[in-house]
Amino acid sequence: MKKMTFDEAYNYVLSLGNLPRLEYMRDPRHTGIYLKRVQFFLDMVGNPEKKIPHYIHVTGTSGKGSVTSYLHSILKAAGQKAGATFSPHPTYINERWRIGERYMSQKEFIDLVIFLKPKLDQYIRVTPYDMLSFFELTEVLGLLWFARNKVRWAVMEVACGGRYDATNIIPRKDAAVITNVGVDHIGIIGDNKREIAYEKAGIIKPNCAVFTSEKDKKIRAIFEKECRKNKVKMAVFNAPKFKLLESNFSETTFLYNNEKYSLPMFGAHQIKNAILCIEVAKHLKFKYKDIYPGLKKVDQPLRLEIVGRNPLIILDAAHNPDKIKTTVEAVKQLKEIKNIYLIVGSSENKNTRLMIKYLASLKPRVVYCSRNTMNPFRKVLSPQTMAKEFKKLLPKTPTPIFLDPFQALEMAKKEAKKDDLILVTGSIFISGELRGLLVKNTP
């Protein structure tokens, strides 16, 4: 087979989306065909999922990416060969998969796509199902990479829901973690929080420990029902007692159960996620000497990530009302900031009115309304629609429209002064695409 460039390999994976298929994101409820077709293909490529001894499975409306990063970092600090999957990727597709300190290289990605191309031809000839989705194929890629590198642990972040998400193909799991349930993906995995909770509870399986930080008793009852069905127990950490010691631009330090921990980021809201990970790690028999350095050295892109100073530039992946509310609360703690310049883009299927309501409370000096991605395969909220919503709440605030988020950033950098903040938020895609320009250590 002829050699491929990284762009050719990536475009080949994307191009499979042109084939008609049943899509989980369009019809996710109560059908197992998504997992059946993934399993059919995994059987064809040697069942890499069965070659990984230990799994931790993570879902939730908010915080699942942070929890995945923290647990992976703790495992790494404990000397375990650990892989992790992230969805969606921050900037480049090979950032979806990580082993230890490194992401999948471009060469490894190309080699895996070259390996899979003839397998996909074989699959489409003999399968009783339709073509795999983009996300399903990325899960196969990650499992193959993990198996080839003989990882002992894999921390798998759910993309959407859980019950029929491609990650739920894993044959066993040491722990299932459900951070919480919000109203993201309304109309996709459910029409209300109870339906969404049912889908997320689907990651609970026999012989695994279950952890959650969900506060709503009615929602937890749905998890508990799934636990009884699978004869497992659930541990709840929804109001952990801790003492905040310090929080600044580069570090958040806290005391929990008389033990000191530190996170290399600002935002006290991350402490709740960290404590959930502490409890998961301790259940799995990891010690403080592993957990402390794991949390202290965690590398987490796009979670209030500071990528520039004078002015301060923060990239944030918040993309639903719950996440935006948390971001706004954290930014309001930055008392030394004079003016805020917002760059916002969003997908069209979000509750953007509520997101905009929270963002408007920051009283930004300017709101640059843009597309959340230049990717032609994704539907975006019209910047015109966004500007009109901001104008209703902030009639005197300029809301210039930019079809290109890079131009919005350039304009904001020209207008912002040394003590100001440029905050990019509303979607992981807009923050991730700009990150490729602002951060040098992307793979």
CATH 3.90.190.20 in the chain, residue ranges: 305-438
Task: Report whether pLDDT(340) > 90.
Answer: yes
Query: What pLDDT, on the 0 to 100 scale, is given for residue 267?
Result: 79
Across 46-60, 181-195, 422-436, which has the greatest mean pLDDT?
46-60
How far apart (Å, rounded) are the C-alpha atoms in residues 82 and 142? Answer: 12
Alpha carbon 116 to its chain centroid, in Å, reads: 25
Query: What pLDDT, on the 0 to 100 scale, is given for residue 172?
Result: 96
Q: What is the CATH number of domain 305-438?
A: 3.90.190.20
Q: What is the pLDDT of residues 348-375, one digit of tens each?
A: 777 889 999 999 999 999 999 998 776 6
CATH 3.40.1190.10 in the chain, residue ranges: 6-296
> What topology does CATH give the domain 6-296?
UDP-N-acetylmuramoyl-L-alanine:D-glutamate ligase (3.40.1190)
Query: What pLDDT, on the 0 to 100 scale, is given for residue 295?
Result: 98
pTM for the structure as a whole: 0.88
Task: Report whether pLDDT(20) > 90.
Answer: no
Q: What is the pLDDT of residues 191-245, one digit of tens each?
A: 689 999 999 999 999 999 999 999 999 999 999 999 999 999 999 999 899 999 9
Query: What pLDDT, on the 0 to 100 scale, is given for residue 337?
Result: 93
Task: Report whether pLDDT(30) > 70.
Answer: no
Task: Report whether pLDDT(329) > 70.
Answer: yes
